[in-house]
Amino acid sequence: MRLRALAKINLGLDVVRKREDGYHELRMIMQTINMYDQLEMEISEEAGIHITTNLPFVPTNENNLVYKAAKLLMDEFHVEQGLCVNLQKFIPVAAGMAGGSSDAAAAMIGVNRLFQLGLSVKELMERGVKVGADVPYCLLRGTALAEGIGEKLRALPACPDCYVLIGKPGISVSTKFVYENLHANELKEHPPIDRMLEAIQWHNLNKLADLMGNVLETVTIPRYPVIEEIKNHMKEHGALNAMMSGSGPTVFGLFDDRQMAEYACEALRESRLAKTVFLTTVFNNGGRRK
C-alpha cells in the first residue's frame, strides 16, 4: 500500500497565553500543501514493525512517529502479524511543516486499511492525539482552525487556490528554544486570527495574505535573520505575503500568479539563502482523505 503524507503550513499562528501547567494555548490556521513524504506499507509474517528510510538521520526505531502510530493501533487491536514501512522523506525535517506528524497520520490510515480495523477518520483522530498534537489535523487535512495545544480542530472552508513557495534555510531551530524564549503573557501584538477566518469565509486571498502573522517570528527572526531575508526576497519577487511556518525555520510565500511564483522560485534558488526551495500549491479536499 502506498500513501502520501502531506506537509502543512500555518497561515496564522497565535499564542494566546502560557497556561499554569507550562503548555502554550494556541490559535493556528493550518493549511495542507502538495508537498509530501511517501510511505510504502506491507504486512509481514515476521512480528514487529520494521522501518526503512532514505534519510540516515531520521530514526527507524520506536522514536519514529510512524512506529509509535502503527504500534498504538496494532497493540489495541492485538494484531499479531508484522508491518514493514519504507518511508521516503521529502518534507524538510524539524522545519515547522509537521512532517513527522503527517507520516504518523498516514501510518494510521495504512494500518487501519491493511489490517481491516474498520476505524473511521474521527476514531483515528481520537487516537492520533496520543502520538502528537498535530496528528489529528494531519488526518483531517485541508484548511482548519486548531486551538488548545493544536488538538481542538474546526474544519474551515477551503483556502483560495494559490501557489506556495517554500524556502528552508540550512539551519536547525529547536521548537523548545522558541517556546522557552517566547514571553507569551507579555506579547503586545497578536495576529488577527478572527479576521483571517473572515477572509477565508469570503474566499479573499489578498486579504488573507495581508493578515498573515506568526508570533513565533518575534523569537526566531532576531536570532536567525536569514528568515527575514528569505521573507523579503519572496515579497520583492511578487509574493502576496511571506511568513515563517510553525516554529520555523521554513518560510513560505503565497502567489496568485504561476509565472511570478516560478520566477521567484528560480531567484530564491540562485540567491542561496535557502537550502530547500520548492514550489507547490495548497491542497484542499474538503477535509476528506482520498
Q: Which residues bind ligand ATP (CB under 6 A)?
A: 58-59, 63-66, 93-101, 103, 134, 175, 246-247
User: Is 231 a catalytic site residue?
Assistant: no
> Strand locations in the chain, DSSP E?
2-18, 24-44, 49-53, 82-88, 143-148, 152-155, 163-168, 213-214, 241-244, 251-255, 276-281
Which positions ≥6 away from 39 have C-beta within 8 Å? 2, 3, 4, 5, 66, 85, 86, 87, 88, 103, 106, 107, 110
Q: Phi and psi at residue 82, in whole multiples of 5°? A: -100, 180
- Nearer residue to ligand ATP within complex by CB, 59 or 287: 59
The set of cell numbers assigned to 12 is 496564522
- Which residue in 8, 68, 71, 89 is the catalytic one? 8
Amino acid at 290: K
Residue with cell 525535517: 93
- Nearer residue to ligand ATP within complex by CB, 94 or 268: 94
Q: Where are the alpha helices (DSSP H) in 51-185?
A: 65-76, 99-114, 121-128, 135-140, 175-180
Smallest gap from Cβ 210 to ligand ATP, in A, equals: 24
Residue with cell 477518520: 121
Smallest gap from Cβ 174 to ligand ATP, in A, equals: 9
- Which residue in 37, 68, 134, 231 is the catalytic one? 134
- Nearer residue to ligand ATP within complex by CB, 175 or 259: 175
Smallest gap from Cβ 31 to ligand ATP, in A, equals: 13
- Nearer residue to ligand ATP within complex by CB, 101 or 112: 101
Q: Are 179 and 163 within 8 A, CB to CB?
A: no
Q: Are 54 and 38 within 8 A, CB to CB?
A: no
User: Is 210 a catalytic site residue?
Assistant: no
- Nearer residue to ligand ATP within complex by CB, 97 or 239: 97
Q: Which residue has the closest beta carbon to ligand ATP?
A: 100
Smallest gap from Cβ 203 to ligand ATP, in A, equals: 26
Which positions ≥6 away from 215 have C-beta within 8 Å? 13, 14, 15, 182, 184, 187, 189, 190, 191
Smallest gap from Cβ 270 to ligand ATP, in A, equals: 26
Catalytic residues: 8, 134
